[in-house]
Amino acid sequence: MEGPTLRPTDSVTRLRGVGPVLQGVLESCGVHTVGDLLLCVPYRWEDRSTAVSPADVLEPGRPVLVRGRITGLRLGRPRGRGRRVVTAVVADERGTLPAVWFNQPWVAKALRGRGPLFFFGKVERHSRTGRLQLVNPEIGADGEAGGGIVPVYRPMGRLGGRRLRGLVEQALGTLDELEDPVPEDALKGLGLPKLRSALERLHRPVTPADPVERAALLGALERRETPEQLRLAFDELLALALAVGSVRQKRRRQRAVCRVQRGVRGLDLPFELTEAQRRVVAEILGDLGGPHPMARLLQGDVGSGKTVVAALAALAVLEAGHTVAFMAPTELLAEQHVVSLGRLLRGTGFEPLLLTGSLGAAERRQVLELLSGGGPHLVVGTHALIQRAVQLEGLGLVVVDEQHRFGVAHRQALVAKGKAPHLLVMTATPIPRSLALVAYGDLELSVLDELPPGRRPVRTIVRRRSEAGRLWSFLAGEVAAGGRAYVVYPRIEASGELEVQSLEENAERLRASLAGPGVGVVHGRMGRAQREAAVAAFRSGEIGVLLSTTVVEVGVDVPEATVMVIESPERFGLSQLHQLRGRVGRGHRPSWCVLLVPDVLPAAAERRLAVFGSTNDGFRLAEADLELRGPGEIAGFRQWGADGLRFARLPWDHELLQKARQVAAMLARTGRLEEVLQRMAPHLAGGEVPGGG
Site residues, ligand ADP (CB under 6 A):
271-274, 277, 300, 302-308, 428, 452, 557, 559, 586
Nearest-approach distance from CB 269 to ligand ADP, in angstroms: 8
Nearest-approach distance from CB 647 to ligand ADP, in angstroms: 36
Q: What is the DSSP letter of 11?
A: B
Torsion of CA 503, 508, 510, 515, to 10 degrees: 140
Nearest to ligand ADP of 208, 452 (CB atom): 452
**By C-alpha distance, which of 282, 295, 196 is closest to 244?**
295
Nearest-approach distance from CB 386 to ligand ADP, in angstroms: 22
What residues contact residue 20 under an 8 Å CB cut-off, 6+ apart?
Answer: 13
Nearest-approach distance from CB 451 to ligand ADP, in angstroms: 8
Are 547 and 489 in contact by the 8 Å Cβ rule? The answer is yes
Nearest to ligand ADP of 281, 325 (CB atom): 281
Nearest-approach distance from CB 553 to ligand ADP, in angstroms: 11
- Residue 157 — left, alpha, or beta (φ > 0 → left; ψ -120 to 50 → alpha)? left
What residues contact residue 303 under an 8 Å CB cut-off, 6+ apart?
Answer: 451, 452, 455, 582, 585, 586
**β 378-381/323-327 pair status:** parallel
Nearest-approach distance from CB 428 to ligand ADP, in angstroms: 6
Q: Which helix (H) or strand (E) holds 117?
A: strand 117-125
Nearest to ligand ADP of 367, 552 (CB atom): 552
Nearest to ligand ADP of 33, 576 (CB atom): 576
Nearest-approach distance from CB 264 to ligand ADP, in angstroms: 16
Q: What is the DSSP letter of 13?
A: G
End-to-end CA distance of the chain: 50
How far is the C-alpha of 453 from the C-alpha of 455, rounded, in Å?
Answer: 6
Please spell the DSSP secondary structure of 41-97, one letter per residue.
Answer: --SEEEEESS-B-GGG---SSSEEEEEEEEEEEEEE-GGG-S--EEEEEEEETTEEE
Are 472 and 487 in contact by the 8 Å Cβ rule? The answer is no
Nearest to ligand ADP of 228, 401 (CB atom): 401
Give me the half-sphere count of Cα atoms (radius 13 Å) on the Cβ side of residue 106.
1
How far is the C-alpha of 393 from the C-alpha of 401, rounded, in Å?
Answer: 21
Nearest to ligand ADP of 559, 613 (CB atom): 559
Are 520 and 547 in contact by the 8 Å Cβ rule? The answer is yes
Nearest-approach distance from CB 541 to ligand ADP, in angstroms: 16
Q: Which amino acid is at 688?
A: E
Nearest to ligand ADP of 48, 306 (CB atom): 306
Nearest to ligand ADP of 106, 271 (CB atom): 271
Nearest to ligand ADP of 403, 501 (CB atom): 403
Nearest to ligand ADP of 304, 358 (CB atom): 304
Nearest-approach distance from CB 336 to ligand ADP, in angstroms: 9
Nearest-approach distance from CB 330 to ligand ADP, in angstroms: 13
**By C-alpha distance, which of 258, 294, 253, 251 is closest to 395?**
258
Q: Which helix (H) or strand (E) holds 439?
A: helix 433-439
Nearest to ligand ADP of 558, 596 (CB atom): 558
Counting DSSP H helices and E strands in the chain, the numbers are 22, 20
Contacts 24+ apart (CB under 8 A), 623-632: 623/432, 623/651, 624/574, 625/573, 625/574, 625/575, 626/431, 626/432, 626/435, 626/651, 628/574, 629/573, 631/435
Nearest-approach distance from CB 335 to ligand ADP, in angstroms: 14
Are 462 and 609 in contact by the 8 Å Cβ rule? The answer is yes
Nearest-approach distance from CB 557 to ligand ADP, in angstroms: 5
- Of all residues in this chain, which one has the CB nearest to ligand ADP in the complex? 305
Nearest to ligand ADP of 308, 390 (CB atom): 308
Q: Which helix (H) or strand (E) holds 203?
A: helix 195-203
